[in-house]
Structure 1
Amino acid sequence: MSPPDPSAGSGRRVPVPVPARLRAWVRGSEVALVLLAALTGCLGGLAVAGMSGAAQLLREILYRLPAGERLSGLAALPGDGVFGLPFLGPALGGFVLGGLLLLLGWKRRRRAAIDPIEANALHGGRMSLRDSAEVAAQNVVSNGSGASVGLEAGYTQVAAGLASRLGIAFEMRRSDLRTLVGCGSAAAIAAAFGSPLTGAFYAYELVIGTYTIATLAPVVVAALCGSLVARSLASTPALIDVGALALSRGGTLGAADTLPCLLLGLVCAGLAVGLMRGVAFVERRFRATGLPALLRPALGGLCVGLLALATTPQVLSGGHGALHLHLDPGMALTAGGLAGLILAKAVASAVSIGSGFRGGLFFASLFLGALVGRLFAQVAPMAWPGFSEFGLAPVGYAVVGMSALAAAIVGGPLTMTFLALEMTGSFPVTALVLAAVIASSLTVRKTFGYSFATWRFHLRGESIRSAHDIGWIRSLTVGRMMRRDIRPVPLDTPMASFLRAHPLGSPSRVVVTDASERYAGIVLVPEAHALAAAEAGARLADVARYADAFLLPDMSAKQAAEAFDAAESEALAVLDRADSRRVIGLLTESHTLKRYSDELDRQRRAVLGEAA
């Protein structure tokens, strides 16, 4: 078992006591892992139902909505909401969020809460349950007050946090703990959308980072349990079934229908990159105002509320009610109206996240994609004379656009493809969705290189492109691999004394230091003997090499390998710091590559589910 990672939060806490025999059974049995995944799925379903109900209750209180009414589905803001000024709802939520952050000790925090992707990429699945619960509470306040953010980020955060806590209690192996965190995320998404396949592939693509036979059973079981629990507690499904409505009257789908879907996928890719960059731009603008971070959500909420007042309530909250409206074939908007709504929703989402509200772009990307699809179906016939002969109806293009834009932003092509399949129940429509999703995700990956989650990591200075486990690479540092039994030799040592102390056949490399005991290079013993035989007045300084090439103890194995290549040396000295240049060890290239190879093989066995 990997040692606890202090930066992961949960590593500082003492695990909940679990009987040794039970812990050993869970660690050594695949059946036990599946059972634990089922428990995780049930807890995830309960968490989703609880968060969804709490956010809806908050909206009903603030905006005086009838029970079950969706805020984004209203035609106009209710006049009796939020004390007669309904546009102040998001601003009020921003004030509450700022107070909540202050109460939770925001000023004392030195790090952001670790989300499931970061946990699996860097920390072996270790997350803080307390941090996850705080994020979930902030997400409920943000969404419930009307800020244009979805609840999906909070769903996955708390469900994965519960899963991680369970795994830590049973002292699970690194690979199993990462799988269990994926199970929590799968359960959350499956419960949110009533779509087990969508939830499972969300876990594979975004949280675990790969699909293997070893992870199939636990992830799918967790997704099924999460979906079943949420359905038993929720009164209405999250999405409507468009089914045959995706096809035009008497329309049949053929190979030619792929062409407009590919074009729609490219359009969605461009909009996705623009939206992600827009969020970062708005965040920079809010920071440039000089306003304290705890007050920025209130200002952002006021902007969103005024935008909703000037346009439509469809820009508020996650957008579930609005998506229902626009997946209804009877819903009619002009091309200008659709374009205006797309712009307004994109601005509302960017302002909400950029100002500090908690949430993500998962559902916003679905809603925006549906709007883009319907706009595409209206505008395309003007430039494409034969467009009306294609078999997809405007609702079908809405489904294609929804999946393509969400795949570009969220980063799960198969996740969004299966969501379309579970919505429509149509394999022909799903095939077109898959074509658009491939075009969209490939374009974003080649031109931008990030999903929204990994883009946020990039802005924080983290080089994470997926949940693929790179934490073990970072933990395989030079400080852990180096030899410490190094006795540096002063550079001014007489050559004769050096040769007597280091005859041919002794260790071939000797580290030398200057008069201040600072690193001065490496002397190769055979070269010293050869030079002494050729020149009578030879000095150690004449054969000292690599004075400017060295390693630091916090370098990873990958960085060390790059340093060996750059210096063209088989060994380098390890210094405590670049400024002090005090020698603390020596590392060879062969040992580095061996340790790296051993770790790769161990990771490969873990992925395949083989015994270590």
Structure 2
Amino acid sequence: MPLRNRSSSSPAARQVLVQAPGRLRALVRGSEIGLIVLAGLIGCASGLSVAAMNRATQAMREVLYGLPPGMRLSAATDLSPLAILLAPAFGGVLLALFTLALRWRRRPRRAPVDPIEANALHGGRMSLSDSTVVVIQNTISNGSGVSVGMEAAYTQFCAGVASRLGLSFELRRADQRTLVGCGAAAAIAAAFGAPLTGAFYAFELIIGTYSIATLTPVVVAALCGSVVARALVAQTSLVTVDRADAITTTVLTTLDTMPSLTLGLLCAGLGILIMRGVTLVEAGFRITRLPALCAPVVGGLCVGGLALLASPQVLSGGHGALHLHLEAHGNALGLSALIVLFVAKAIASAISIGSGFRGGLFFASLFLGAVAGEIFAVGMPLILPGMVNFGLTPLAYAVIGMSSLSVAVIGGPLTMTFLALELTGSFPITGLVLVAVIASSLTVRKTFGYSFATWRFHLRGESIRSAHDVGWIRTLTVGRLMRREVSTASIDQSLASFLRKHPLGSPSRVVMVDGDGRYAGIVLVPEAHAALLETEGASPDLASLLRHRDDVLTAEMNAKAATAAFDRTESEALAVVEDLKTRKVIGLLTESHTLKRYSEELDRQRRAVLGEAT
């Protein structure tokens, strides 16, 4: 197959790509069926990848903690105290050694582009080698028992494979973004055995929107991923409902929505505290000036200490512990023990990520939400005696809390609602979950404004808040839009000389420069002629007619920033300078042309979302 080096600013595009044969490329690019077949292949590959990563982390935990085959770490009760304390720190040592190996290979240090950022800014382009690094780091972190989940590695690698495959077929930008969503959907579906959850994870968090054009490939990928993973790895249902009263004690009424709504609001606040806590832990490690390679070792010791003091349930992602808390007969922990477990798990998760371990908060937020729901169920009768949890059992509140807290941290209200439906099979509880997740999502969006992923982007200086495609805005720059053929005039000449050179009927605005060729301002020709007629005797100074002396654009600014500058200055045109220091004029941009091009691009993006021809 021919090799081709595609030039682009994204990490994936800088690599040498293997192209698919021309006929296959034409088939996939020109046929919706071809894209669906490609999505199915990605789903199968994702199911296989998730199963392999699952087995690798489980094998590592079994070796480090002496677990029986198949036993989940967070559900184990007979663990060696020495292993609990030291195994997470050993993971920190392995992570440090892996980081040193990357430095020894002189690998360029850059933050890996995750699926959300790839679809928001890079048109779905990801680096598969960077994704592989994330998988190794996440496997070390989760396998050693620190409080992070594997979902970050699942989605990163599967979306990376999808991105590489899309690039080899030279897909259009919209199809490339859809294919990345297919990889993420298959990864989540394979991890939870929940195809609907995986599909809506892609729609809400990776693609950023739902459309008929993306429905079939994403659902096909999710179904294939789930089927393949189930065939390779035995999956135990998180919720075992073997009788009707496991979820409800009476027929649910409208009154039952009130405690669900309250729990959703409480989980929103807890989610914000957890996200803030990760940032505070990271800041704390920076303040100590501890070498970056040593931070995970110290963090691992802290997590191990918390597990010894509180419970082994704080270790790893929490799959086994969540299963215990979501059993039909409920967990036997009392209120104080549940509170201690929640606080310890939240702190352990913040320390794990803040100290440099690689992983996500997806499953940790599910576990924390379930515990928060149990706390709510046990504590509510103490606050409202006689109400007896309305018609819901502690298991129901655990499911509602699980969905509410995870939507506060991860986002995706429908994703978490479908997760509850696929786990419980209960439509009445799903309705209450929907009430709670909407309350939680809205509260977080209005008070905090970010999910955990977009909060991390914000801390890095990125302005994106979702996977909506805004990368095209960054490429629609002032440099591309401006008119380069712009004449300038010296500000040192007299008004009479200026008017002779620029009579009425000539271009209505003139860019003025000083003696050193630096931008000085803009003079409106009709205004200059009017000023001469209105004055008697000596003509006014040309400098007194200058407008927008300090208002300029630069070629790197995008169309959105330029539009904001036009609104702020109330100008119909602004000069474009090389940079703010030299102020050398290189062009002129009008507001009307900017808005026209911006509207055309918006319409093109809308058509791409709807699957219409562009």
Alignment of 1:123-522 (within 5 A): 123-237=122-236, 239-242=238-241, 244=243, 247=246, 250-328=249-327, 329-388=329-388, 390-522=390-522
Q: Who is 2:573 aligned against?
A: 571
1:582: how far off? 0.7
Structure 2: runs of 5 or more not aligned: none
* Aligned match for 1:599, one of 598, 601, 605: 601
1:507: how far off? 1.7
Judged with a 3 Å threshold, the aligned counterparts in structure 2 of structure 1 residues 516 and 386 are, in CA distance, closer, same or farther, namely same
Q: Is the 8 A contact 1:245 1:393 kept in 2?
A: no
What is the rounded CA distance, in whole Å, between the counterparts of 1:478 and 1:103 in structure 2? Answer: 42
Judged with a 3 Å threshold, the aligned counterparts in structure 2 of structure 1 residues 100 and 238 are, in CA distance, closer, same or farther, namely farther
1:11 counterpart letter in structure 2:
A
1:233 counterpart letter in structure 2:
L
1:527: how far off? 2.1
1:245: how far off? 5.8
1:392 counterpart letter in structure 2:
L
1:467: how far off? 0.7
Tell whether 2:88 aligns with 1:93.
Answer: no
Q: Who is 1:554 aligned against?
A: 556
3-state secondary structure, aligned to 1:572: strand
3-state secondary structure, aligned to 2:18: coil
What is the rounded CA distance, in whole Å, between the counterparts of 1:464 and 1:364 in structure 2? Answer: 24
3-state secondary structure, aligned to 1:15: strand
Deviates further, 534-543 or 397-406: 534-543
Judged with a 3 Å threshold, the aligned counterparts in structure 2 of structure 1 residues 165 and 374 are, in CA distance, closer, same or farther, namely same
Judged with a 3 Å threshold, the aligned counterparts in structure 2 of structure 1 residues 210 and 4 are, in CA distance, closer, same or farther, namely farther
What is the rounded CA distance, in whole Å, between the counterparts of 1:481 and 1:58 in structure 2? Answer: 55
What is the rounded CA distance, in whole Å, between the counterparts of 2:66 and 2:502 in structure 1? Answer: 87
Judged with a 3 Å threshold, the aligned counterparts in structure 2 of structure 1 residues 7 and 96 are, in CA distance, closer, same or farther, namely farther
Could you report, residue by residue, the CA deviation over 1:399-420 in whole angstroms, capped at 9, with x for unpaired residues? 1111111111111111010000
Q: Is the 8 A contact 2:238 2:326 kept in 1?
A: no
Could you report, residue by residue, the CA deviation over 1:88-110 in whole angstroms, capped at 9, with x for unpaired residues? 10101011111112212398644
Q: Is the 8 A contact 2:248 2:396 kept in 1?
A: no
1:576: how far off? 1.1
What is the rounded CA distance, in whole Å, between the counterparts of 1:157 and 1:311 in structure 2? Answer: 32
1:501: how far off? 3.0
Q: Is the 8 A contact 2:240 2:326 kept in 1?
A: no
1:462: how far off? 1.1
What is the rounded CA distance, in whole Å, between the counterparts of 2:566 and 2:509 in structure 1? Answer: 15
What is the rounded CA distance, in whole Å, between the counterparts of 2:430 and 2:17 in structure 1? Answer: 45
Q: Is the 8 A contact 2:478 2:553 kept in 1?
A: yes
Could you report, residue by residue, the CA deviation over 1:465-515 in whole angstroms, capped at 9, with x for unpaired residues? 111111111211111111111232111234444333323222222111001
1:144: how far off? 0.1
1:6: how far off? 4.3
3-state secondary structure, aligned to 2:553: coil
3-state secondary structure, aligned to 1:468: coil
2:508 counterpart letter in structure 1:
S
Q: Is the 8 A contact 1:477 1:557 kept in 2?
A: yes
1:116 counterpart letter in structure 2:
P
* Aligned match for 1:67, one of 55, 66, 69: 69
3-state secondary structure, aligned to 1:38: helix
Structure 1: runs of 5 or more not aligned: none
Judged with a 3 Å threshold, the aligned counterparts in structure 2 of structure 1 residues 219 and 85 are, in CA distance, closer, same or farther, namely closer
Q: Who is 1:11 aligned against?
A: 13
Could you report, residue by residue, the CA deviation over 1:249-285 in whole angstroms, capped at 9, with x for unpaired residues? 7532222211111111111111111111111111100
Judged with a 3 Å threshold, the aligned counterparts in structure 2 of structure 1 residues 7 and 185 are, in CA distance, closer, same or farther, namely same
Q: Is the 8 A contact 1:46 1:229 kept in 2?
A: yes
1:389: how far off? 6.3
Q: Is the 8 A contact 2:74 2:314 kept in 1?
A: yes
What is the rounded CA distance, in whole Å, between the counterparts of 2:498 and 2:574 in structure 1? Answer: 20
3-state secondary structure, aligned to 2:574: strand
What is the rounded CA distance, in whole Å, between the counterparts of 1:601 and 1:244 in structure 2? Answer: 52
1:295: how far off? 1.5
What is the rounded CA distance, in whole Å, between the counterparts of 1:18 and 1:380 in structure 2? Answer: 60
3-state secondary structure, aligned to 1:104: helix
What is the rounded CA distance, in whole Å, between the counterparts of 2:9 and 2:354 in structure 1? Answer: 25
Q: Indicate the RMSD between aligned Cα atoms, in angstroms.
A: 1.8
1:428: how far off? 0.6
Segments ≥4 residues shifted beyond 4 Å: 3-7, 243-246, 533-536
What is the rounded CA distance, in whole Å, between the counterparts of 2:429 and 2:196 in structure 1? Answer: 17
What is the rounded CA distance, in whole Å, between the counterparts of 1:409 and 1:575 in structure 2? Answer: 42
2:56 counterpart letter in structure 1:
A
2:211 counterpart letter in structure 1:
T
3-state secondary structure, aligned to 2:576: strand
What is the rounded CA distance, in whole Å, between the counterparts of 1:134 and 1:191 in structure 2? Answer: 21
